[in-house]
């Protein structure tokens, strides 16, 4: 996912009228860009209803789209359709203040895409831990292949992610401080890679404010929140990848399941893309 194909400096259009979505410890934002759901997507919604506890639920949809399934237990929030027109546009939306201003009354928001699963309760407990960003952990691919000791990288994919709106807005209003990188050893290897170092240096030269840094950010939005956000806000907090295994799986769920002591996480992202056979087996055993 990148911003390729969008006009230079393209900015996500905000709502014409900002709705009052209420306030509280946690809100769930189900991201939807099509009027109907596939069988797998409908199952994703079913598990959210089963394990999403009693937290307020919202459907974020393009303006003018008629929703073709029962959704009385969700409040619909319509955003300009341009924000859902492509993966790049959605990427830009999640790097903008729009979603975090929408949910500014909540201490945490769960971003839930249509390729997720909710596997058990406990979401409220994770939200209460107060992290700025939590997603399925990313581990070095070599570790999964070799079976050697775990070498954690970073946390993690944005498709199933907890985010603190106040912290996100603080980042987006912040100034780049490269000296903070010295205090973030878990990110050194990330930025040591040529691709990521080039992005960091080029963006740093273009501007020190987050808004300028992100104007043409060429990487996925979850990479920014995992790796770049701490450079703009000293209070940005993420869990370790090992701890985040209790929150969600994405890549290589069989190995993640072993590392987690065969304990299922709160949820999973990209379940039919990463290893559908594994998840079907797990789900069948729970029936």
Q: How confident is the model at residue 152 (pLDDT cuts 50, 70, 90)?
A: low
pLDDT at 151 over 70: no
Residue-wise pLDDT for 77-110, tens only, equals 999 999 999 999 999 999 999 999 999 999 999 9
Q: Taking residues 156-173, report their average pLDDT.
A: 96
> What angle (nearest 5°) sits at the alpha carbon of residue 237, between those of residues 109 and 159?
40
Of 45 and 142, which is predicted with more confidence?
45
Residue-wise pLDDT for 1-41, tens only, equals 345 568 877 899 999 999 999 999 999 999 999 999 999 99
Tell me how far apart the alpha carbons of residues 76 and 73 are, in angstroms, rounded to a whole number: 10
The per-residue pLDDT for 9 is 79
pLDDT at 141 over 70: no
Q: How confident is the model at residue 190 (pLDDT cuts 50, 70, 90)?
A: confident
pTM of the predicted protein model? 0.92
CA 5 to each of CA 67, 152, 184, 222, 271: distance values in angstroms, whole numbers, following the listed order: 28, 33, 33, 19, 28
Residue-averaged pLDDT of the chain: 90
The per-residue pLDDT for 266 is 97
pLDDT at 61 over 80: yes
Q: Which residues contact 198 (CB under 8 A, 6 or more apart)?
A: none
């Amino acid at each position: 996912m990148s911003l390729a194909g969008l006009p230079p400096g393209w900015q996500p259009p905000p709502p014409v009228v900002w709705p009052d979505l209420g306030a509280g410890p946690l809100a769930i934002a189900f991201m939807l860009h099509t009027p109907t759901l596939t069988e797998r997507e409908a199952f994703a919604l079913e598990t959210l209803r089963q394990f999403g506890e009693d937290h307020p639920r919202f459907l974020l949809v393009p303006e003018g789209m008629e929703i073709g399934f029962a959704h009385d237990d969700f409040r619909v929030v319509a955003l300009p359709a341009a924000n859902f027109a492509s993966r790049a546009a959605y990427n830009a939306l999640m790097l903008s203040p729009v979603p975090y201003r929408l949910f500014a009354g909540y201490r945490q928001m769960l971003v839930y895409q249509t390729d997720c699963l909710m596997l058990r309760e406990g979401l409220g407990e994770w939200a209460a831990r107060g992290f700025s960003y939590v997603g399925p952990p990313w581990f070095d691919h070599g570790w999964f292949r070799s079976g050697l000791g775990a070498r954690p990288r970073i946390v993690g994919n944005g498709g199933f992610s907890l985010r603190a709106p106040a912290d996100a807005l603080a980042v987006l209003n912040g100034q780049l401080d490269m000296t903070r990188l010295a205090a973030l050893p878990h990110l050194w290897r990330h930025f040591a890679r040529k691709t990521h170092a080039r992005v960091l240096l080029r963006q740093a030269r273009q501007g020190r404010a987050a808004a300028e840094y992100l104007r043409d950010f060429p990487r996925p939005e979850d990479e920014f929140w995992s790796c770049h956000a701490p450079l703009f806000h000293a209070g940005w907090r993420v869990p370790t990848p090992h701890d985040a295994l209790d929150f969600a799986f994405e890549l290589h769920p069989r190995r993640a399941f072993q590392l987690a002591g065969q304990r299922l996480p709160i949820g999973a992202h990209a379940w039919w893309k990463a290893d559908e056979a594994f998840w079907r087996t797990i789900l069948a055993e729970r029936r």
